[in-house]
Amino acid sequence: MGFTTQVFLFVFFPVCLLSYIIVDKISGLKIIKGFLDKLRVRDILLIIFSLGFYMWTCFDNIFRLLFYILAVYLSALIISYIKEKGYSVNLIRQSDDNGGTVKKRVFLCIIPFVTAVILITGVLVYCNYSNFLIDCWNGLFGDSVPYKSIIAPLGISFITFSAISYLTDIYRWDASTGSFIDCLLYLSFFPKIISGPIVLWKDFQGQIKTRVVSLDDAVDGLNRIMIGFGKKIILADSFGACLSKIPLSGIDRITAAGTLILYMLQIYYDFAGYSDIAIGISKLFGFDFKENFNFPYRSKSITEFWRRWHISLGSWFREYIYFPLGGSRKGQGKTLRNLAVIFALTGIWHGAGWNYIIWGMINGIFAVVERVVQKKKYYVKTPSTVKYIFTMLVVMLFWQLFRYEKLEDISTLFGIIFGNITFENISFTWEYYYDLQIIVFVIIGIAGSTLLGSPKLIALKDKIIATKAGYLVQELLLLTVFVTAILFMVNSTYSPFIYFQY
């Protein structure tokens, strides 16, 4: 069940929200407040609806998910118990300075922690990468190991990262284990379970008991949902529908070049739209999640692009991989190594295929080079416009590694664009594929992903909506966008979110 389906919008979500509001109001009554707070009625209700949301996709997966969450919680209890008891061992080391011996205390909770993280990661590798690894093995050694028939559970990558965050924050004492209900709510919460955003446990736990929903929060949440629907259904799905009609043969150069822009806009509005809806829904239930996108197509470097794109994923990698490796504290060489590791893992996380690995490596190379030259005079003096155009060209060209699994398809596309491949018979020219509607949507898409991120325009917008008239105009515009998105949804073929596959 996706957010942009009629079942979710007209049945699941209204029933869930209405039930939550009723329970929340009843829980606020002084007579029974303490009793219902102890029963955790609000949280249990959210868990039930979250499990129902997940079960809609595949009934069998819900039992695997429950077992998975129980295993994670029991692992956390073991880690917490050993750490609280202070069980440790002293490792004797030879000192380099004076030849003496020093003792280093190591907590034994590292054993269940490492074991749990390896097992959790192993589940992800088995589900998402088994056939890729088999393919690599067969290619390297000439074997014919048969492929496995595996259907990965929906959202396994996001669930895995949340589980690792839960265990790591407990291991570091950044957060407590909480109850099983806390863990169950965190790992199953339906707005984020399938495609994020990836919320850290230490950020989530503090909001479980203290969350409240004010009128302003409710309005903000509804606004984000309406914006998300507009991004996804009106823009992303229109771009995707247009791309689906364009073949990889029998097209002209303009048509081929246009697909680069269309896909660049589609993948942004698809994922940013999902994030807006997820953040908006979460806000209606009292959870305040951090932004996942900050106008990445305004970036003047690949490094800046990754600070603005899929922010929650970048935060997770920094928190649990980059900083533990040493971050940027141990010299230039190790900093560059750490950056390379992060981008390699980012590519691998996105999918099991050489296209994703190459994409991660390319982004890593650019990030490493930018780190090396960032203080060089020639780089500092390079005009911002040049940096921006170069960055956007790199992003646009290499997004095609997401669009096509086969590298030869990408080679064919670029061959058409640069004139190396031509066709004698072109069935339809660019005018057929790019009608007035799609051109208008592209202009809106470009402006919305770039100009609207201007600090001056943001300040102007805030100034306008601070007035009653301006605020009313904003709400009417958002409502119009939302209604239009619903009409698009009802009258068009359903298109799943791109990031559902990761």
Q: Within a domain: residue 332?
A: yes
Task: State how many domains the chain has.
Answer: 4
At residue 94, φ and ψ (nearest 5 deg) are -85, 125
390 and 431: one domain? no
From CA 34, how far away is CA 127, in angstroms rounded? Answer: 43
Burial 477-500 (b: 16+ CB within 10 A, else e): ebeebbeebbebbeeeeebebbbe
| CA distances, 354 to each of 190, 296, 348, 360, 363 (Å) | 31, 25, 9, 10, 14
Per the listing, tokens 């899929």 go with: 310
370 and 469: one domain? no
The confidence score (pLDDT) of residue 147 equals 83
83-129 confidence digits (pLDDT tens)? 888 877 766 665 555 656 656 667 788 899 999 999 999 999 998 88
pLDDT bucket at 486, cuts 50 / 70 / 90: very high
Q: Within a domain: residue 132?
A: yes
From CA 395, how far away is CA 383, in angstroms rounded? Answer: 19
293 pLDDT higher than 90: yes
439 and 339: one domain? no
Which residues constitute the domain of residue 377?
300-404
Mean pLDDT of the chain: 90
pLDDT bucket at 428, cuts 50 / 70 / 90: confident
Q: Within a domain: residue 50?
A: no
429 and 495: one domain? yes
144 and 226: one domain? no
224-281 confidence digits (pLDDT tens)? 999 999 999 999 999 999 999 999 999 999 999 999 999 999 999 999 999 999 999 9
Instruction: Look at the chain and count its residues.
Output: 502
Q: Within a domain: residue 93?
A: no
From CA 465, how far away is CA 228, in angstroms rounded? Answer: 19
Domain termination residue (choose one: 208, 224, 256): 208
- Which of 487, 499, 490, 300 has the alpha carbon at shortest distance from 389? 300
Query: Which are the contacts of 41, defined by CB distance < 8 A and separation ≥ 6?
Result: 23, 27
323 and 365: one domain? yes
With H, G, I as helix, E, B as strand and everything else as coil, classify residue 428: coil
The confidence score (pLDDT) of residue 90 equals 65
Q: Within a domain: residue 275?
A: yes
Domain termination residue (choose one: 173, 208, 243): 208
327 and 243: one domain? no
Q: Within a domain: residue 194?
A: yes
307-330 confidence digits (pLDDT tens)? 999 999 999 999 999 999 988 888
Q: Within a domain: residue 495?
A: yes
| CA distances, 242 to each of 24, 238, 265, 399 (Å) | 44, 6, 12, 17
| CA distances, 133 to each of 145, 146, 386, 407 (Å) | 10, 11, 40, 18
165 and 79: one domain? yes
128 and 240: one domain? no
79 and 22: one domain? no
322-377 confidence digits (pLDDT tens)? 999 988 888 888 889 999 999 999 998 888 788 899 999 999 999 999 999 998 99
502 and 430: one domain? yes
Q: Within a domain: residue 341?
A: yes
33 and 158: one domain? no
Q: Which long-range contacts (CB under 8 A, 24 or more apart) does 212-218 make?
A: 212/286, 213/24, 213/283, 213/284, 213/285, 213/286, 217/283, 217/284, 217/286, 217/288, 218/283, 218/284
The confidence score (pLDDT) of residue 196 equals 82
